Chain A
Amino acid sequence: DQQVKQNSPSLSVQEGRISILNCDYTNSMFDYFLWYKKYPAEGPTFLISISSIKDKNEDGRFTVFLNKSAKHLSLHIVPSQPGDSAVYFCAASAAAGAQKLVFGQGTRLTINP
């Protein structure tokens, strides 16, 4: 049972344009959502998060949007840079779930010069 889904295994975007990565979830108990970036042979790096009481959180070039009614969140990166090429994971947590993270399968983002 995949509670967090990233339906696009890969995404290719031109440098300078906006990258939009999507994530859907099924468990209505999730109340906190996070995005991680991962390079090969390294651990995931925390990027940005959002609580379920908000619908938007922004940090520099990164913005996360949450649509609770649709159980959907997205990560916007603008402008996209070559160093943004990596695998991006969406993760969700429920306060009642002892804070363990449930991850999506990841989306491989490639920024083309």
Chain B
Amino acid sequence: NAGVMQNPRHLVRRRGQEARLRCSPMKGHSHVYWYRQLPEEGLKFMVYLQKENIIDESGMPKERFSAEFPKEGPSILRIQQVVRGDSAAYFCASSPVGSYEQYFGPGTRLTVT
């Protein structure tokens, strides 16, 4: 049973470009969460999605960031017009219905130059 998959593992973007991060949840998991970890800090919640629905986006910056989890395919976290402060590790997690326990992918390390 494959775990949570994220790609790419490393992504380098220049300031002003767009970054797209992908996440495929574990088989049987319908809930997807995105978290961001800045250097030397803990993980910070960004958004919680179910298929075709955003349930909680209280941790998402108001501008430039968006997320989706379509009926078919992976969840996508999109960052438009990236700035240096967006450089971080972005982790996706998934959980089955009714469970508090979230299982994390390996993360995407975004570097903005």
Contact = CB atoms under 8 A, between A and B. Distances in A.
Interface of A: 4, 32, 34, 36, 41-46, 49, 89, 91, 93, 97-106
A44 B48 contact: no
Interface stretch (B13-21, B38-46, B70-78, B80-88): B38-46
Contact of B42 (A43, A45, A46, A89): A89
Contacts of B4: 43
A99 B41 contact: no
B100 A100 contact: no
A34 B101 contact: yes
A43 B91 contact: yes
B103 interface: yes
Main secondary structure of the interface of B (DSSP, over half): strand
B56 A44 contact: no
A84 B41 CA distance: 20
A89 B43 contact: yes
A99 B32 CA distance: 11
A89 B41 CA distance: 10
A43 B105 contact: yes
Interface in B1-54: 4, 6, 31, 33, 35, 41-45, 48
A49 B99 CA distance: 11
Contact of B48 (A36, A41, A99): A99
Contacts of A43: 4, 6, 91, 93, 104-107
Contact of A98 (B35, B48, B93, B109): B48
B44 A103 contact: yes
B113 interface: no
15 contacts: A34-B102, A41-B107, A43-B105, A43-B107, A44-B104, A46-B104, A89-B42, A97-B56, A98-B55, A100-B45, A100-B56, A100-B58, A101-B43, A101-B102, A104-B42
